Amino acid sequence: MLKDKYIDYLRFEKRYSAHTILAYHTDLDDFTKFLSLQYSVTDPLQADHNLIRSWLINLIDRKISPRSVNRKLSTLKSFYRYCQKQDMIQNSPMLKVVAPKTSKHLPVFLTRDNLDDLLGKVEFTPDYEGYRDKMILTLFYATGIRRTELIQILTTDLDLDKGTLKVLGKRNKERIVPFGENVINMLKEYLDKREEFLTGNMHSIQNNNHSLFVTSKGLPVYPRLVHTIVHKYLSLIASNSKLSPHVLRHTFATHMLDYGADLNAIKEILGHSSLAATQVYTHNTIEKLKTIYKQAHPRA
């Protein structure tokens, strides 16, 4: 089946993450169901730009956000490019489809005061879970890694002598991320607590042994748990509507830029494939400069 071959192409040749592959799979399912129900078309290769535009209008009528609509259209662009490479079609029907405009949202980030409160004033329980939760928050802010990257970290990925972390990023690209002496000391303390927890509960939990962060059952932490942990603690010190792990990634990048870090260096640490993705953080810095200018300049 064409769709299955395309998904295999994404998985094995493009080496996309499971999360991205699921999104592409869902988008294609939605498109093919629309074609079948509305036009009795069962083969997406028979769809022209008019049918795709009709689907686009249907998505908008369903109140799907422009950003999500654009992602779905990107899925179709990728799919039809694949079909062209396989000589299944001569031209992509997406050439005549115009994506809706989206408003640019600046990344949400926390202030330095927020972070000082989070890591200096918020109380964490003295048991393993308390140490784990604080370590997760600290590592997010100290390295700017993604949630999926944090979940995959093994104890063997840490080099405490060099102060570095090996991270498996998007498309299975490895990178080395540095961290400072304070984080090294916290990790040493955390690893002792982790070992004590796993050893003391060997009879009642399934010991994973290798995952850096584990649940109360000794299994690797999972996306929902990590999101819950981050949201729980960030809600104590900030009132932003979006209090997800990605906010700490944005905060890391923004603070690095504010304190003079080179944009290319931030790009490498974050694991961005292009500088354009990193440049969004310069907007926050510019907005901050505008505010300072208006407050300080006598003729502003």
DSSP string, 22-81: HHHHHHHHHHHHHHHHHH----GGG--HHHHHHHHHHHHHTT--HHHHHHHHHHHHHHHH
Q: Which of 72, 147, 193, 272 is catalytic?
A: 272
114 — phi, psi (to 5°)?
-55, -50
With tokens 């036009």, the residue in question is 39
Which bin fits 146, alpha (ψ -120 to 50), beta or left (φ > 0)?
Answer: beta
φ and ψ of 176, to 5 deg: -110, 125
The answer to whether residue 272 is catalytic is yes
Task: Answer yes or no: 246 catalytic.
Answer: yes
Q: Give yes or no for a contact between 88 and 263, defined as CB atoms under 8 angstroms apart.
A: no
Q: To which H or E segment does residue 156 belong? A: none
Catalytic position from the list 11, 175, 227, 246 = 246
**Catalytic annotation present for 170:** yes
Task: Please indicate whether residue 210 is annotated as part of the active site.
Answer: no
Catalytic residue (one of 11, 25, 71, 170): 170
Q: Which of 146, 147, 193, 255 is catalytic?
A: 146
- Pair 269, 143: CB distance under 8 Å: yes
Backbone angles phi, psi at 177, to 5 degrees: -115, 130
DSSP helix/strand/coil, 262: coil
Q: Which are the contacts of 144, defined by CB distance < 8 A and separation ≥ 6?
A: 177, 248, 249, 252, 253, 256, 266, 269, 270
Query: Which residue among 132, 147, 249, 267 is the active-site one?
Result: 249
Q: Are 45 and 88 in contact (CB under 8 A)?
A: yes
Q: Where are the beta strands (DSSP E) in 100-169?
A: 158-159, 164-168
Which residues are known to be catalytic? 146, 170, 246, 249, 272, 281
